[in-house]
């Protein structure tokens, strides 16, 4: 098989001799690698099943109507499509043949000299996939839309409901998972509900609004330093979020969550239930493990060599959330976060270029930039390599870091202006109920009922827009 650029003639004759690098996934890691390859002597094909790069850390802002979809997503063609040596192809890679050096997507086999897998991670329900339609995760744009639609439709129904008990049910949200995404979502949803109910709904009372944050661990933000978790918990409780910590989700049914664990059995009733509790590497990890014998860890991540290659295949690298990289001073795998993903993508691209020129590159060293979570307007907690910052200074660090990381200047400007507008007016700009009104899935919360016996595709750590389906 000849390895042409897109299996067509390359636009320039000189390119025919250049090695062909295929990058699967245009997220944090893949996009960074692509930028590093732009205008270098390699042919690059970037394959992604979506036509945009998604800034996942701000998904909670879409879910809570602070910003809209396009503010957190950037079309890949506009990001890297202008480089003469980069081609972008839309499609889902469904198989990899390491011996033939080919990937399969859109039912075609496609050759590579170097392969960078950066397909990220999805959500997991720890074997309880039937919970997925009842408690959507927050990994892709459609999930954030769905959470927003469920909450807003529940509030709309509450405004028309004479029964006070039913109104309280409709005004209750359960968020499972008290990591950064869960805390951010819970803090933003309670703010949204209090504000909307106070000013824009005539029949609803702020006292009936409830956001309950549940985690099996006995504190919030368990991956951050204890004082920061405590500060976040205090802020959330003061804002009106109820914490149910040390509580394990035993069952989820339409509008109900049963908890067990250290705190004893209890049942929560909530019209809107969200799931931010589990992450699992994309299915390409396990697929490549089957095809190549590369080990995977419990989260389905490929256990990679110091240069991110997989054993026996120096031409295949796995980066970002897809890999377990434990070549660190304390031998602990790097966290599944945007910072490491960007650094890995950039390093691997530079390493490939150096090797092609017969050079060696310095070993990968992760620069820990810290972690942070924004819990409310003007309030964030930040762990900057042991330096703990909370409140307004934390929010300033959070805002600057996120603006710096956003890969698109237009989005940077849009986000900054929307944050300022929201802080000045307390108004949210993206509170639209979009999609078909009967698009609710699996739970009877809205003005329209969903069938109960709906079937859902089995989850396997991969989040697909197809899992948000219209109920006809
Ligand atoms: C709600 C939420 C909040 C977060 N908050 C933070 C935060 O505050 N700070 C932080 O550092 N990190 C945060 N993270 C984690 C961070 O977003 C991830 O670690 C990061 O996105 C990983 O980058 P990646 O390049 O490995 O994968 P991704 O950015 O997920 O990109 C993967 C890409 O691969 C594509 N893809 C997947 N499978 C295929 C396939 N088979 N074929 C073709 N394309 C495919 C996808 O469409 C996607 O574009 C958050 C994550 C979530 C979900």
Residue with tokens 């910003």: 67
- Structure tokens that stand for 84 in this block: 């003469």
Mean pLDDT across 322-327: 96
Confidence of residue 449 (pLDDT cuts 50, 70, 90): very low
Q: Quick one: pLDDT band at residue 353, thresholds 50, 70, 90?
A: very high
Q: What's the alpha-carbon Rg for the chain, to the nearest Å?
A: 23
- Dihedral sign for Cα atoms in the order 421, 240, 192, 208: negative
Contact 394, 372 (CB under 8 A): yes
- Chain segment 52-72, per-residue pLDDT in tens: 999 999 999 999 999 999 999
Ligand 1 contact, 348 CB (< 6 A): no
Q: Which of 135-149, 168-182, 359-373, 433-447 has the lowest mean pLDDT?
A: 433-447
Tell me if 459 CB under 6 Å of ligand 1.
Answer: no
Structure tokens at 275: 């799931």
Ligand 1 neighbour 30 (Cβ under 6 A): yes
pLDDT band at 178 (very low <50, low <70, confident <90, very high): very high
| Mutational pocket test of ligand 1: of 24, 25, 90, 322, the residue with most ligand atoms within 8 Å of the beta carbon | 25
274 lines ligand 1 (CB under 6 A): no
From 283, 317, 337, 380, give the residue whose CB has the most ligand 1 atoms within 8 Å, as the site to mutate: 337
**CA 232 to ligand 1 centroid distance, Å:** 24
Domains 5-49+91-123+280-356 and 129-277+371-443 share a fold: yes
CA distance 115 to 199: 54
**pLDDT digit string (tens) for 185-223?**
999 999 999 988 888 899 999 999 999 999 999 999 999
Q: Are 46 and 26 in contact (CB under 8 A)?
A: yes
For 96-150, what is each residue's pLDDT tens digit?
999 999 999 888 899 999 999 999 999 999 999 999 989 999 999 989 999 999 9
CATH number of 5-49+91-123+280-356: 3.50.50.60
> Does any ligand 1 atom lie closer than 6 A to the CB of residue 320?
yes
Query: Domain ranges in the chain?
Result: 5-49+91-123+280-356, 129-277+371-443
User: 340 CB under 6 A from ligand 1?
Assistant: no
184 is catalytic: yes
Closest atom, ligand 1, to C-alpha of 28 = 25
Ramachandran assignment for 384, one of left (phi > 0), alpha (psi -120 to 50 degrees), beta (any other): beta
CATH class belonging to 129-277+371-443: alpha beta
Options 146, 157, 184, 191, the catalytic residue: 184
Q: Is 70 exceeded by the pLDDT of residue 384? A: yes
Instruction: Supply the pLDDT for residue 452.
Output: 38
Cβ atoms of residues 430 and 62 within 8 Å = yes
User: Which residue has better confidence, 444 or 7?
Assistant: 7
Torsion angle in degrees (nearest 10) through CA of 60, 147, 180, 178: 160
Q: What's the 459 CA to ligand 1 centre distance in angstroms? A: 17
The side-by-side arrangement of strands in the sheet containing 371-376 is: 371-376, 379-384, 387-390
Task: Answer yes or no: is the C-beta of 168 below 6 A from any ligand 1 atom.
Answer: no
Q: Cβ distance 258 to 249 under 8 Å?
A: yes
| Res 6: pLDDT | 62
For residue 461, which of 336, 347, 376, 375 has the smallest C-alpha distance? 336
Q: Among 47, 62, 119, which residue has the most ligand 1 atoms within 8 Å of its CB, making it the best to mutate?
A: 119
Answer whether residue 386 shows pLDDT above 90.
no
Q: Which stretch of 233-237, 238-242, 304-308, 468-472 has the lowest confidence by average pLDDT? A: 468-472
> Which residues are registered as beta bridge partners of 10?
none
């Amino acid at each position: 098989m000849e390895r042409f650029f897109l299996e067509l003639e390359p636009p320039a004759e000189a390119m025919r001799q250049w090695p062909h690098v295929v990058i699967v996934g245009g997220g944090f890691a893949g996009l960074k690698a692509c930028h590093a390859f732009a205008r270098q002597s390699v042919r690059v094909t970037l394959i992604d099943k979506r036509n945009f790069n998604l800034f996942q850390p701000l998904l909670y802002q879409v879910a809570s109507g602070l910003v809209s979809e396009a503010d957190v997503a950037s079309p890949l063609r506009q990001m890297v499509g202008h480089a003469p040596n980069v081609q972008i192809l839309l499609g889902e890679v469904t198989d990899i043949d390491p011996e033939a050096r080919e990937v399969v997507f859109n039912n075609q086999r496609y050759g590579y000299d170097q392969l960078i897998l950066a397909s990220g991670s999805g959500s997991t329900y720890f074997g309880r996939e039937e919970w997925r339609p009842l408690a959507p995760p927050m990994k892709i744009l459609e999930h954030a839309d769905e959470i927003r639609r469920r909450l807003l439709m529940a509030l709309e129904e509450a405004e028309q409901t004479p029964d006070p008990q039913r109104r309280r049910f409709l005004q209750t949200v359960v968020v499972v998972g008290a990591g950064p995404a869960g805390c951010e979502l819970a803090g933003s949803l309670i703010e949204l509900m209090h504000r909307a109910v106070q000013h824009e709904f005539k029949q609803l009372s702020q006292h009936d609004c409830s956001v309950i944050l549940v985690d099996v661990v006995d504190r919030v933000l368990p991956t951050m330093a204890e004082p920061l978790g405590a500060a976040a918990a205090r802020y959330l409780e003061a804002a009106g979020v109820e914490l149910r910590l040390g509580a394990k989700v035993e069952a989820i049914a339409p509008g109900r969550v049963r908890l067990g664990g250290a705190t004893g059995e209890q049942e929560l009733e909530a019209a809107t239930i969200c799931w931010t509790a589990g992450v699992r590497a994309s299915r390409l990890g396990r697929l490549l493990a089957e095809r190549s014998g590369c080990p995977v860890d419990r989260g389905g991540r490929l256990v990679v060599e110091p240069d991110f290659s997989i054993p026996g295949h120096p031409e295949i690298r796995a980066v970002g959330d897809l890999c377990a990289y434990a070549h660190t001073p304390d031998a602990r795998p790097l966290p599944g976060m945007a910072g490491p993903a960007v650094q890995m993508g950039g390093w691997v691209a530079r390493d490939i270029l150096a090797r092609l020129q017969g050079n060696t590159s310095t070993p990968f060293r992760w620069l820990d930039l810290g972690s942070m979570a924004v819990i409310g307007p003007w309030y964030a907690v930040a762990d900057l390599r042991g330096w703990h910052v909370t409140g307004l200074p934390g929010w300033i660090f959070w805002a600057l870091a996120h603006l710096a990381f956003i890969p698109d200047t237009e989005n940077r400007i849009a986000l900054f202006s929307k944050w300022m507008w929201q802080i000045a007016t307390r108004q949210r700009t993206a509170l639209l109920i979009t999609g078909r009104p009967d698009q609710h899935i699996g739970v009877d919360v809205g003005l329209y009922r969903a069938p109960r016996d709906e079937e859902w595709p089995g989850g396997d750590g991969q989040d697909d827009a197809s899992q948000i389906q219209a109920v006809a």
